[in-house]
């Protein structure tokens, strides 16, 4: 489909068209000093004139001179919580007065939802989670139902804060596929492109003019700027060499070094758009007549995560951090045929002590070269 131009003044019309097509909309907005995704009803809720400044262990918003809606890169959440819920009831059991038990599966939600202003790295992360939750021997009914009913409106990045490294991780700040509509913001509006029949039918209701060559060029330059300004890098390609380097250094002294700094808090696993571990807890009513089985996000940084038949097999921070990193960019390849890192930089930003995945990998690689 050709590139079209949507003036900022028509963003509300786009949201209305998405809504009229039957989708509830979840999109970016500022809340408590961060950009988060939540129900979006009006274009006024978008993070106008806001940009995120990030460094290891630091995130803040600053006002920009130009009043743009998508001048930011990301916040603590990806779209993961919209598809793989942080907490979710899976089934319940009730005891009646005769003592008989009735088991009932909790049905997944089927509300059609548009995820608005999704970043390219988060689309890549979603495709990785699709492999975990859909392309498995036991597909997850809840994730699958939500994923089937989702419309993706991508917002290409024209800005990279200091922790982004999607290019080095094998991606790019532009969504290349798997979107229904893609937008790149330029002065006064957005260069748009439909990526599916549904996206095209929504865009067609707006009677937009074609984008001019100058507008397409400005959009392209914005994306290139985001790519070229990324300074963080993985020390080796993310499609195999990094994995081999790590597995050759399971006893490297750097694991002891990082364990001195890591708090085992699990923030990195919560914000990572590809981490998928979970626990199922029984929430039993005090009167003993009802129990609900609730799935909650887990983390490989907890003691419980590696408890196997009377023994915690990763009893300290060193073995937990090593497990996280060697899985993320190492054994993930064997399991899912790709790396588990898309280079969004969230684990660096939201680590309370600023541990930087690229620095840790580089340190191990440097000593290998020495």
* Nearer Cβ to ligand SF4 (266/298): 266
Distance CA 145, CA 47 (A): 29
CA of 236: how far to CAs of 21, 170, 241, 242, 263, in Å? Answer: 45, 11, 6, 5, 27
Give me the least distance between CB of 55 and ligand SF4, in Å please.
14
* Nearer Cβ to ligand SF4 (157/355): 355
* Nearer Cβ to ligand SF4 (260/282): 260
Structure tokens at 126: 């979603």
Distance CA 122, CA 32 (A): 22
Backbone phi and psi for residue 320, each to the nearest 5 degrees, phi listed first: -75, -45
Give me the least distance between CB of 124 and ligand SF4, in Å please.
9
Residues making up the chain, counted from first to last: 370
Give me the least distance between CB of 257 and ligand SF4, in Å please.
12
Distance CA 347, CA 72 (A): 17
* Nearer Cβ to ligand SF4 (191/243): 243
* Nearer Cβ to ligand SF4 (230/274): 274
* Nearer Cβ to ligand SF4 (208/268): 268
Structure tokens at 250: 């399971």
* Nearer Cβ to ligand SF4 (121/154): 121
Distance CA 222, CA 228 (A): 10
Structure tokens at 305: 């995560």
Distance CA 154, CA 177 (A): 10
Distance CA 272, CA 276 (A): 9
Burial 329-357 (b: 16+ CB within 10 A, else e): bbebbeebebbbbbbbbbbbbbbeeebbb
**Residues within the interface to ligand SF4 (CB under 6 A):** 262-268, 271-274, 301, 328, 341-347, 351-353, 355, 357
Give me the least distance between CB of 323 and ligand SF4, in Å please.
11
Give me the least distance between CB of 274 and ligand SF4, in Å please.
5
H or E stretch including 233?
none
Give me the least distance between CB of 149 and ligand SF4, in Å please.
25
* Nearer Cβ to ligand SF4 (83/344): 344
Name the burial class of residue 282, with classes exposed (0-12), middle (13-18) and buried (19+) by CB atoms within 10 angstroms of its CB: exposed
* Nearer Cβ to ligand SF4 (155/355): 355
DSSP 49-85: TEEEEEETTEEEEEE-SS--SS-----S--SHHHHS-
Structure tokens at 208: 């937009």
SS3 category, 13 = helix
Give me the least distance between CB of 234 and ligand SF4, in Å please.
9
Give me the least distance between CB of 342 and ligand SF4, in Å please.
4
* Nearer Cβ to ligand SF4 (219/342): 342
Give which of 321, 315, 306 is closest to 266, Cα–Cα. Answer: 321
Give me the least distance between CB of 25 and ligand SF4, in Å please.
25
Give me the least distance between CB of 33 and ligand SF4, in Å please.
19
């Amino acid at each position: 489909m050709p590139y079209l131009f949507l003036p900022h003044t028509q963003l509300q019309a786009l949201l209305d068209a998405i809504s009229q097509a039957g989708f509830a909309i979840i999109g970016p907005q500022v809340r408590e000093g961060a950009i988060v995704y939540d129900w979006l009803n009006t274009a006024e809720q978008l993070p106008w004139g806001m940009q995120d400044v990030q460094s290891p262990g630091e995130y803040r918003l600053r006002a920009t001179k130009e009043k743009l809606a998508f001048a930011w890169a990301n916040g603590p959440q990806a779209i993961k919580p919209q598809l793989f819920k942080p907490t979710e009831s899976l089934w319940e059991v009730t005891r009646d007065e005769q003592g008989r038990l009735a088991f009932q599966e909790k049905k997944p939600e089927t509300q059609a939802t548009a995820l608005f202003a999704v970043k390219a790295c988060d689309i890549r992360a979603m495709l990785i989670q699709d492999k975990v939750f859909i392309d498995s021997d036991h597909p997850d009914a809840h994730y699958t139902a939500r994923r089937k009913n989702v419309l993706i409106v991508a917002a290409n990045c024209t800005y990279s804060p200091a922790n982004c490294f999607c290019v080095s991780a094998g991606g790019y700040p532009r969504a290349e596929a798997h979107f229904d509509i893609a937008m790149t913001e330029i002065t006064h509006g957005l260069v748009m492109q439909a990526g599916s029949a549904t996206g095209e039918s929504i865009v067609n209701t707006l009677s937009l003019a074609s984008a001019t060559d100058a507008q397409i060029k400005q959009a392209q330059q914005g994306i290139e700027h985001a790519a070229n300004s990324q300074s963080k890098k993985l020390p080796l390609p993310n499609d195999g060499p990094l994995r081999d380097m790590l597995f050759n250094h399971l006893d490297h002294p750097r694991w002891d070094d990082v364990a001195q700094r890591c708090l085992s808090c699990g923030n990195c696993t919560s914000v990572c758009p590809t981490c998928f571990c979970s626990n199922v807890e029984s929430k039993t009513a005090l009167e003993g007549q009802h129990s609900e089985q609730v799935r909650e996000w887990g983390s490989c940084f907890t003691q419980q995560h590696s408890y196997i038949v009377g023994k915690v097999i990763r009893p300290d921070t060193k073995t937990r951090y090593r497990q996280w990193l060697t899985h993320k960019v190492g054994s993930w390849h064997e399991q899912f045929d790709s790396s588990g890192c898309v280079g969004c930089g969230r684990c660096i930003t939201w680590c309370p002590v600023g541990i930087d995945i690229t620095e840790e990998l580089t340190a191990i690689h440097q000593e290998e070269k020495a």
